[in-house]
A = this chain, B = another copy of it.
């Protein structure tokens, strides 16, 4: 079973929150809100997509790349990679 299936509910909740953020941007534009507010909503939305991406990437590395019966050195290297990735994706 894929990690996106196992973590399905958690990931879906995150995506729905992001959809809510995109709808808030749409509303802010429709209501002709202050452009500073729109810039902040955009930055927050991008951050949320980054966090979701980091989670999907982490699951991908752990479930599809690392062999669960492999040696502990490869699991450690995967952990190192995941930590570094978070600084780039977020």
A-to-B contact residues, CB < 8 Å: 2-5, 8, 11-12, 15-16, 18-19, 22-23, 25-26, 29-30, 32-36, 38-40, 42-43, 45-47, 49-50, 52-53, 56-57, 59-61, 63-67, 70, 73-74, 77-78, 80-81, 84-85, 87-89
CB distance from A4 to the nearest CB of B (A): 5
Residue on B nearest A87 in the bound complex, by CB = B43
| Cα distance, A50 to B84, chains bound together (Å) | 13
Interchain CB contact (< 8 A) of A65 among B15, B45, B74: B74
CB neighbours of A66 from chain B (8 A)? 65, 74
Q: Are B4 and A29 in contact (CB under 8 A)?
A: yes
